[in-house]
Structure 1
Amino acid sequence: MPHAEGDGAETAPDQLIAQLQRVTEQLAASSTPQEVFDIILEPALHALNAIAGTVLLVSADGEHLQRMATRGAEAGAPTIWQDRPLNGDGPSVDALRRQQPLFFEHQGELTRAYPDLEGHSGAATPVATAVLPMLLGERPLGVIVLDFSEPHRFTRQERYFLRTLGAQCAIALSRATLTRTLQGQLDDRRQAMEQDASAYQAFVAFSEAVGEGTDRPALVQLAIAALRAQFPDSSVMYSEPDAERWTLRAWSEDLSPDAVTRLTAGMPGSALFVASAVQAGRAVFTTYESVQQRQIAGADGLAAHVPITVNGAVTCILSLVVRGRREWVPRDQAVVRAVGRTLELALERQVHLLGLEERSRQLDDQAAALDVFTAFTELVANETDVSALSRKAFEVMDAHFKAYSSAYYEREGPLWKARVWTPNLETVLVQQIRAGLPLDVPSFAQAFQSRQPVFIDGWDPERDGVEHTEMFGPVCIYPLVVDGQVLGIFTVGLRVGDQWRSRDRALMHALGRSLTLALERTGNARQLEQRNAELEARTRALEGFADLTRDLSADADRHELVRRAQEVVMSLLGDGYALYYERDGARWRNRVQVGTVGHPDLQAFIDAGPPVGETPSVDVPWFTRQALYQDQYARGSDTPESMVQHVGTTASLPVLRQGEVVGVFITVLFAQRAWTGVDRAVLESTTRSLTLALERAASASQLMQRTRDLERSNQELEQFAYVASHDLQEPLRTIASFSQLLAMKYGGQLDDKADMYIRVIGDATARMGTLLQDLLAFSRVGAGVPRQDIVDLQVILTQVQQDLQAQVQLSAAQVQVGPLPRVTGEGTQLRQLFQNLVGNALKFRHADRAPLVQVEAQDLGDHVRIAVRDNGIGIEPVYFERIFTIFQRLHNRDRYEGSGIGLSIARKIVERHGGQLWLESRQGEGTTFFLTLPKGPTP
C-alpha cells in the first residue's frame, strides 16, 4: 500500500526549493517534449536520490499510456513501466484515474498492491516508487515515475516538490505540444504559399506566352513547353476526339515512337483515362504504377489528364506523365491545373475570335449581297419581260465577277432550252444550249427537284454530260421558283478558281432571290391584268344582260330570256352562232338559236334533234353539271364531220334553275382559238345571270299567282262579311221580333216554363247577334291593306279612356298613361286595339283590390314597344296562346261577359301593322300585354 511516511533518507527543503527554481527556469526555455523530459527527470533523480525515472504519456487516441522517456536505468535494462491501456490496471493508470500521486515507500508494497506487475514486464519491482499524475486542468497527460533501490520516506516537502514538478511538467509539455502544432501549421502554410507562388509563376509565364496567340497548334505547343519546363522528366500529350476515337495531335519530343504510333492511331472514348477525365470534367491525377499512364506512355510514375472545355463541351485532353515519382504533391497539381486552365482560356478566346471573324465576314457578305439585291431591284423596277430581266442580272454580275458566263433556261417539253445568255459564251456551246439540255442532266435535275440552288465546286463536264463546258470551275444552278413551280433555271459558271467563296455564294443567293421576286412580280402583274380583263368582260356581260332583262315581267318567256343571253354572248365573242338545247325524251331539242350555222345539212341535223347519249357537246354539261370547253372542236364526235369543217371552237355550259339542269347553252365560233379566262368569264357570267333571270321570272310568276289567290280569298271574305251582316242577321232579327211579340202578348198567360222558354229564345238571339257583329268586325280587320297614317298614341289613349269612362268609375279603377310616341298605322284599328286591351284589364279585375292599369312605351329604333299592365286576376302560362283563339273563353259568361273575340282582333290588328303581340302574367298578380308597332316620324 502507498504510504505518507517512510524510512529513507530525507532531502533538505532548501535543496528542493533550489531545484524547483532551476527546473522552472529551464522549462521556460524548453520547446520540445524531449527537452522537457530531460529537465524534469534529471533534477528529480538527483534531488531525491532515485535510481531511475520514467515518463509515460497518454497516446493521441486517448486509449493507452506510452513510455516516452527513461533516465537513470541502464540502457536496455528491463523495467516494469511499459505501455498500458488506460482501461486496464496498474499504478500508472490508477494515478491518472484518481488524479492523485501514489507513493510506495517500503519493499514489497508495490508488489502487494499490483501482484501481476512483474509478470507483465519480466522485470523486478523497485524497493520504493513515486507515481505522479500530470494533469492539465482535469485532462490527463501522463505520469512521472521515480524508482528507488532503498526504502524511502517521502516527506511533506518532497511530496510538494514532486507534485509541483508534475504540474510544471504538464504545463511545459502542453506548451511544447502547442508550439509543435503551431510550427507544423506554419510549415504547412509556408509550403502552401510556396506551391501557390509556383503555380502562379507558371500561370503568369504561360499566360504571357499565349496572350496574343490565336493559332491552335501553336497554343498547344506552348502548353506542352510550359509543362515540360515544370516537369523535366515527363511526357506531355494533347489529344482530340475524332468520331468515336481520341487521337494524339501533339506531343513532347521525349515521347517514344511506339507510343506516338499507338496514340496517333486513336484510342476509344471508353479508354480509362479518357472516360475518367471527360466524366469528371476536371483534372484527374493518378498515382504510381496506375493503369492509365501505361495506357498512354507505357511508363510507370504519375499521370495527370486535364479535360479542356470550350463552349460547354470537352474538345481535347492535355495529358502529363511524370516518371520517377510516386506521389502527387499539391504544388505540382496546382501547376498542372494552372496550365490546363490557361490553355482552356486561350482556346476559348481563339474560338471567340474565329467566331467574330466569321461574323464579320458574314456581315461583309451580307452587305455585298444587299448591294446586289438593291442594284438589281433598281434596274428592274418597271421591267416585266423575262429576257430583259436576265440581261439586267448580267449587268449586275459584271460588277462583281471578273470572269464568268451565265444563261437563263426555260423548260420546253423534255428539254431545258436557253433563252438568254452572256455574249462571251462560245458559239458551239450556244448552239448546244439553244437546242436544249435533257431534263435528266444531274445538276439541273437536282435543282429542279429540291427547289434549291445547287453550288458545284470543280465543275466536271463528263459527270453532268454537258460538252464544251470544261472552261468552268465553280458552277451555280439556281431554280427560279414562283408559287412552288420552277419557272426557269439561271446558271452561272466562273472561269477562275475551283471553289465557291462564301461571299460569292451570298451574292448568288441575293441575285437569285431578286430575280425570283422580279419574276413573281411580273407574274402577279400579268395575273392582275388577266383578272382585270376577266372582270371587265364579266361586267360587259352583266351590263348587257341587265339591259336586256331590265323590263323583265312575270309573264316573260324563258326562251326569250335565253335569246337575249345568246345575243349578249355573240356580241362579245365574235363570229359564230349560239344554240340552246332542252331534253325531249331521247332527243335534244334546240329551242333557241342566234346566228346561222353555216351549213344547211348541219341546220337540218340540229332541227331533227341529236340523240341523247350520243352527243357529247350536250351530254357532258347536262349530266355532269360542268362546263365543257373545246379549244379545238372534236369534229365528228357528235355531228357528221363533213358538216362541221368550218367549226373551230365550242363551249357548252349547263343552265340550272333551282339546282336542276333545264338546258344546255352552247356557243360555237368558226375560228379556232383557246378559250381565255376572259372568254370563260363572259360565258359563265352570262349563264349565271340567265339562271338568276329564269329563277326570278319563275318567282314573279309564282308571286302573281299568289296575289291572285289572295285577291280571290279577300273577295270570298268580303262576300262572307256581306252574308254575315245581311243574310244571316235578317232571320235572326225575325226570330228576335217574334220572341218579343210572344213575350208581350202571352207573357203571364202561359205557365212558368213557357215564359222561361220565351226568355231563353230572347237571350240566345241577342247573344247570336253579338257574335255576328264581332265576327263581322274580325273579318273587316283583315280586309284590305291598312292605311299608313301618322297616329298619335297619346290621343288614341285619351279617346279610349273617354270610351271606358263608365267602367272606370264603376270599378273605381286608375288608368295611368305615360308618354306615348306617334306610330304609322290606321287610327280606327289602333283605337279598337287599345280599347280591347284596356277593357280586358278593367273586366278581369281582382276582387280584393281596385283595378290599376298602366300604359307605357319604349323606343326600339324603327319600332316602339307598348306595355299595357294590370293588377288583375292573371293568366296561367298554359293558356297564353289559347286566349288569342277566336271565341275561346277561360271563364263562364255568368262571371265575365263577352264573346271571346277581343284578343283575337287585337293580335290581328298588331300583325297587320307589322308588329307582334304577346303577354307575361302570374296567376293572381296581374298581366302585362306587350306589342310592337312601326314608329312614325318625330314631330
Structure 2
Amino acid sequence: MQFTEAASQTDDVASLADLALRTLQQVLPGSSGAFYTRTEVDWTPLRWTADFPPDLLAVLRRGLPLDTPLFTNLREADAPIFLNDWCAAHPAGEEQRPFHAVAAYPVHQQGELCAVLGIALQDVPAWTPEREALVRALGRSFALLYDRVSAAEQLHRQRTLAEGREHILSVLARLTADFTTAQDDYALIEQVQAEVLRLLPPGHAAYWEQDGALWRLRAHVNDVGHPDLMTLMRAGMPAGATPTLDVPWTTGRPLYQNAYPGGRDVAAEMTTHIHAIASLPIGHSGARRGVINFTTFAPYQWNRVDQALLETLAQGLWLAMERASHLRQLEEERASLAAFAAFTEAVGTERDSLRLAQQAVTLLTTTLPGLSVAFYVRSGPQWVARVWSEDIDPGLLTQLQAGVSATAPDFARAVDSGEVVFADDWDAAGNDLPGADMYSTAAFVPLVVDGQTQQLLATGVRARRSFSERERGIIRAVGQGLALALERATSMTTLAARTAQVERANQDLDALNEELESFMYSASHDLRTPVRHAQGFVDVTLRALEQGQVQKAQQKLTVVKDATGRLAGMIDAMLTLSRTGRQPLHLSACALDPLVRRAQQDAHLQFPHQEVQWDIGPLPTVLGDRALLQQVLTHLISNAVKFSQGAAPARVTVRADTSGGADPRGGQVTVSVQDQGIGFNMAYAARLFGLFQRLHTQQDFAGAGAGLATVKRIVMRHGGRVWAHSEVGQGATFSFTLPLAESGSSEG
C-alpha cells in the first residue's frame, strides 16, 4: 500500500497517526477520524481530522473516561469493532449524532491495548464488507508500524530526557555556583525555565507566588499564546479558584495534566491551543515559595522520565533559592556592619542633630549612587525636611521643606511599626507628595530616640526596581547608626545641661557661702562700728545733759543719728543682696539698649549737677532677668558717674563685645562700663566685690558698700562672671559676661 511506503519514512507516532487519518479520508471519502492514546486517567486524542464539529472536538480534547463503552467493548472483543446506526448512547451525546457508522481499530503494545484508531462515517448508515476490509488493512499496517515507531520514539525520548535531566542538573549547578547577591531569584528561575523549554514541545513556562488573594506572575518565558490570557495572568489569578496552581500548592505534590481541560482555570476559549500542563510546588511544607508550571502548545504526555526531570528541577530550584537567600543575608550583614562602622567613624562625638543627619545623607549617597535621601523632623502634624541630598529637584524640595502630612501612609506605617518600610512600587501622590512621582522605589527609616519617633530618614530610587538585599542592609544600618547617634547626642546634651546646672548650683552655693561669711563678718565687724559710735555718743550725750550742756548734747545726737542711718542703710543693703540670691530668675530675651537708657536717667537723678559725656556702643539682646540686669547696669553706670565727680564733663563709655562667642545658637557677650574718674589701686581689686568692702572713705564717696557685691551675685546667677581693671587717677573699667539670646528671638 502507498500508506506503508510513506509510513516507513516516519519516526514519530504523531506523524504516523496524521498519515493514517489522511489515508483513511482518501480511501473512504466522507469519513472522519481520531487517534487516541491511553493514559493513566483517560483516553486522550493525539490527532484528529479537521472536519470534526467544534463542540465534539471540545469534548474529545478534554479526554474520554477509561470506561467509555466503545473502548471497553474494544478491549473485551480484542478485535476491531464496526458499529452501524450509531446512536446517542455515548458520553458525547448530541454532538455525535451526525455520525451514522463508527469503527474502532485496537493497537496493542506488549499485549496491552495502548491506542485506538477511530473512524466515523457521516453520510453512510452502515459498513459494507469493502469498507471494513479497507479499515482492517490500514489498521494492520498502522498497528505494525506503531509498535516500531512507538518503541523507537520512546527510546529516543528516554535518551533525550535523560540527557536533558543531566543538562538541567548541570545548568542548576552552574547557575547556583555563579550566583551573586546582585541577582534575584526570578532571574535564576527564568534561566532555568528557558533551559527546560528547549527539551519540550513549543510552549510557555511561568512561576507564581501567592500575594494575598491572588497568584502573582513573578517570572515567565515565552508568550502564553493568547493576548487576553496573557493580560489576565499579568493582572493575577485568583487563589483558591485556579486549580492548576492551587492543587500543587495545597497538596505539596506535582500536578500533571496530559490533556488540559478547557475552562478549568479560565474561559475555555482562551486555552484551545493548550494541550498539557505540569505544575510543581517550589519549597517544602511550611516554607513553600511558589508554583512553577510548564505548558505545551502541542499534544504531549508527561511520562515518568519527564516527571523525574521536573521534580529534580523543582528541588534544585528550591535549594538554589535557599542558598541565594543565605548569600544575600550574609551580604546584607556584611554591608550593614561596614555601613554602621563607617557611619560611627564619620560622626565621631558630634552632638548636633542636623550635622549628624548630614553625615548619614552623605554616607548613603556615596555608598549607594543614584539614591536620593532626605532627613525629616516632626513638626506638629507634618514631617518637615531639614537635610537632603543635592540631587533632589528644586520643585520637590520646596514641597519637602513645606512639610509632608504625618498621616501619609508610608510615613505613618514606618512610625507605627518602628521598622524600616520598603515600598517597591511607591505611590507618590498617595503619600501627599505628587512632585515626587519620579521615584518608583522608596524606603522610610523611623529614628526612634528615647522611645519616640520625632525624626525620619527617607530614601528614593528613580529606576523601577526593588532594593537589593545589600541596599536594604546599608539603609537599615545607617538608620540604626543615626538613631543611636541622635540618642547619644540627646543624652550628651542632657548630661551637659545637668552638669551646667550642677556647676551653677555649686557656684550659687559658693556665692551663698561667701555671702554667709560676709554676713557673719559684717555682723561681727562692719555693723558693730556704727553701733559702737551710737553707744559712745549716747553716753557722751547723757553726761552733757546731766551737766546742762544742751547744745553739746544736740551735736552728739546728730552723730548718733548719722550712725544709725548708716546702720539702717547697711542692713537694707544686706537685705537687698539676700533677696537677689533668693528670688527666682525670670529669663527672657532682653535688649540692653533700654536698660542702659534707664540707668542713664537714674544716674542723672542721683547726680543732677554732674555733666556727663556718654559714649554708648551697639548693644545686643541677652538672655536674662530684666529687673535684675537693670540693677546691675544702674549700679555700674551710677558708680562711673559718682567716681568721676568734679570732672567737666565726666566721660562714661558702655561697650559690648561678642567676638568671643556670638553664634546663632547662643554664646556670651562681654559688657563693659568705663569711666575716667579717680580709679583705684589694683592691689586691692579682690576686695571690690565683697560686702561692705570700700576703697574710699564715706566722707569722700557715700554709699553702703554692698552694690558691687549685689552686681557680682546677679551676674553669677546668670552664669557669667564680673571683674574690674583700673589705674589710680586713670579711671576704672567694670566688665561682666551674659548669655546671648538665640538668633531670631525677640524681647518678650
Instruction: Assess same fold via TM > 0.5.
Output: no
Which structure's relative contact order is higher, taking Cα pairs within 8 Å and 6+ residues apart? Answer: 2
Q: Which TM-score applies when normalising by structure 1?
A: 0.31
Q: Which TM-score applies when normalising by structure 2?
A: 0.38
